[in-house]
Chains A and B, each alone.
Chain A
Amino acid sequence: MKNNHLSADLPADLRAYLESVPPSTPEMTDSLARANRAAQEDPQFDADLMKMVFVNEMLTALDERKETKSTLADRLGKTRQYIQKLFNEDKRVNFTIETLCTVAHALGRRVHMHVYRENEQPVIISRTRTPVMIKAGGWDRPPAMVYASSNVDRFVRTDLPTTPVKKEAPVEYSIAA
């Protein structure tokens, strides 16, 4: 049986703090799970989170490239204030897909979007910390891209054909005289 009592070897201040916390029960855990899931079901939650992730990735890219927001603004032909607002997730800046792609490309990054059904989950193959490009065999196959960065798990495209695709001869149509 688990011993759930706070033991005497806890420092006094930690013990006092933990005693001020109500003991957790399975009912409380269930209720919190429901509240957490409900909060994450909101489309605005997803949108805000995607912006946060994008901005964090771009700040990482800026650091890696030892660039500043001013130099990025110059290269994009925008004002520094605009870039600042964008990076502050300011509601006055339109976070369009064009904006995301433009900024990402300017910082040597690419944006990948994956839409999946409610009951699906993206398949995470493995984790890497170095960029990887796997070249698929076959004379007519495009290389299988492995999306990788310093802190993103690898997503492997699974929609590529598993066997080389043969080029078909173009179909010629003729009109009978």
Chain B
Amino acid sequence: MTITLAEIPGLDPTVQTVWKVRALVIGDRNPVQAALERWAEDHPNAHKAILKVMRLAAQQQRVKKEEHVKRTSKPKKHGDVYEMRAHTDIARLFFFYEEGSESLIICTNDYDKGNRNQDAAFQRCGDLRDFYRKYKNEKQPPLRRPAC
């Protein structure tokens, strides 16, 4: 099974000036792309709103307004995970910030407002982040200071 980070199709790399936005792909499953496609087809306004927030998040160190980006209310339980919100519309996209050789926003999963399982969606984002980091560390062990 491969775990990769995919670019968001149609999102210009030059507008991602502070953070590069990526979607987590596990095997051949890309939940973020599937959600964006569904919203583009069934909820065009929600799709547009999420794209705006994505572009905003990509060019700002942190997004201040909770109507656009909200951090989990249970960081001890879920870790440092966030959701992009189409404000009053249904679309929600979960992500975490990853600083390494590149500054990345890694989008993991989606959620439609009104499903009453927002907490579970935050939890899933945290689980996917942990799974990604575990895989990344196995593939690329962290550098250790050589013994003197």
Contacts and interface: CB of A to CB of B under 8 A. Distances in A.
Do A and B interact with each other, yes or no? yes
Interface of A: 2-7, 10-11, 13-14, 17-19, 21-24, 28-37, 39-40, 42, 45, 48-49, 52-53, 55-57, 59-60, 63, 121-122, 124, 127, 150-153
A49 B55 CA distance: 8
Contacts of B31: 17-18, 21
Given A6-B1, A127-B18, A33 B10 contact: yes
Given A17-B31, A45-B52, A35 B40 contact: yes
A32 B60 contact: no
Interface of B: 1-2, 8-12, 14, 17-18, 25-31, 33-34, 36-37, 40-41, 44, 47-48, 51-53, 55-56, 59-65, 68, 109, 124, 127-128, 131
Given A10-B131, A21-B31, A122 B14 contact: yes
A57 to B, nearest CB: 8
Contacts, number: 134
B11 A36 contact: yes
Given A11-B131, A14-B131, A48-B52, A39 B44 contact: yes
A98 B107 CA distance: 37
B65 A17 contact: no
Contacts of B14: 121-122, 124
Nearest to B14: A121
Contact of B127 (A14, A34, A151): A14
Contact of B52 (A2, A6, A49): A49
Most chain A CB atoms below 10 A, which of B29, B44, B68, B109: B29
B1 A36 contact: no
A39 B51 contact: yes
Contact of B10 (A36, A55, A63): A36
Contacts of B2: 2-4
B131 A35 contact: no
A60 B68 CA distance: 15
